[in-house]
Each structure stands twice: as structure tokens, then as C-alpha cells.
Amino acid sequence: MKTASYDIPKVGLGTYGLLGPEGTEAILAAIEMGYRHLDTAQSYDTEIPVGNAIDSCGLLREDLFVTTKITPENFTNLRSSLRQSCDNLKVDNVDLALIHWPAHYDKIPVSDYIGELARAQSEGLTRLIGVSNFTRKHLQAVDAEIGAGKLATNQFECHAYLQNRILVDYCRQSDLQVTAYMPLAAGKLANDPTLQVIADRIDAQASQVALAFLLTQGHVVIPKSANPDRMASNLAAASIALSTADIALIKELDRNDRIVDPEWGPDWD
């Protein structure tokens, strides 16, 4: 049975690249300015910096929403790897555990590992489960193996230049939350003329307009930054209102500009 919207905070902090003590300081700064959703992954090597920030921030555990992602290399020891992730993060369990990618080249079927993720949830290692970079085909395989409605989110690259409408529509029809990673298209959107015109009119920044657009679509966004000013700007995007005309203009920016596309990745929708 689903819980209402799975209570995933709509703006989170992506932590890729926030390594070591400097990474911990950046994450602490984000928490202090109001971030409550921290997104890490086994392959980022940021679980320990995130854990150190969680441990020293002074907040109660239940005040933070912590996501990690299980790398395909750990499919054969999925639950034990998640236990190690919890140790790294200095928590008893995470709020959300994702499969980071389908198996490389799809050499291992979804049915071989998704059940282990569901078992990790039943054992209390994670409150919610989800996937990342899954196509419609992979999502259908999940439903066939563990039943429909078990996933909290599908996290994938999504931004104004790559709106991923086919997959987004499928997720909506499946009542599956979309989490947009790389929502600023690796900084490209900060200089987009259309976004800047809108931003100038509403006294905002183009990057904020880019995030606000995704939020109006009902997506969760997890922009990454180590810069306090940029972190604050990203967080404030949640309060920006866009008009119907603004949204229509931004929809026209879609150009299928995919940034993250490893050779071993899935055949995208």
C-alpha cells in the first residue's frame, strides 16, 4: 500500500563529488540552510561525508530524508552492501534505497535482483525502495516480479533540454514519483535565453526557473552544488511560481540533450 506521495522532500541535495571533510562541510551548510533530503550512492564515495554531516548536524534522524543507491556490482550481495551503506551513513536504516542502474548491458535480468531490494525493505534496512535509470521495460519487469505499486520513485536525468516525456508519462500513469537528477543540465540551463527572459520578469535566476519548471511537473529535484549561494538559490526555487505561458515556453526547449549516457547503459525510452 502506498503512502501519500511517499513524503519525499521535493528539493534535495545531490552529493556527487562532495568528498572528504570539505564535502562534509558543504553538506552541513546545506542542512543548516534548510535542506532535509540528502541523495548519495555507493558509487559516489560520499556516504561517509554524508554520514559525518548527519552525525554532527544536531537534527533528529527523523528530520532528514536519506537516499542511497545500490550499484550493480553489489547485486550479488545487495542486502549486506546496504547494511554497509547504513553504517557509512551512521543510520540504522535509510529512507529510500534505489537500484542505481539496471545491470550493465542488461546481462542480469531485473528478476534476479529486485526481490533482494524488496527483502531489504521488509528487513527494515530501508523505509522505501525505488530505482534509478530504469526504462519502461525495466519498470514492467519490476512489477512482474514484486507486484505493482511497490516502488516510491524512478530517478533519472530530466531537465528542460531532456524532458523525457515518454518515461515521465509512464511513471505518472503508474503513480510513480519522478526524481530528476542533473536538473540543471550540468549548468547549461543557467545561460538559456528563454529561461533568462522569464527569470528577469519574475526577479529570479534562470537556474531557479529551470528547477521551478520541474517542480511544477510534480517532480522531485536533486541539484548538486558545493557553493552556499547556489545551494540557497536552488532551495529557494521551490517558492517560484511560473505562469501557464512560462511553462509552455519551457516545454519547447526539449531537445533530447542527454548528458549521462554510458555505453553499458539501457536502451532509453
Q: Would you name the residues annotated as active-site residues?
A: 44
| CA-closest candidate to residue 117, choices 91, 90, 94 | 94
Q: Residue 196 carries which side chain, given as an amino acid letter?
A: Q
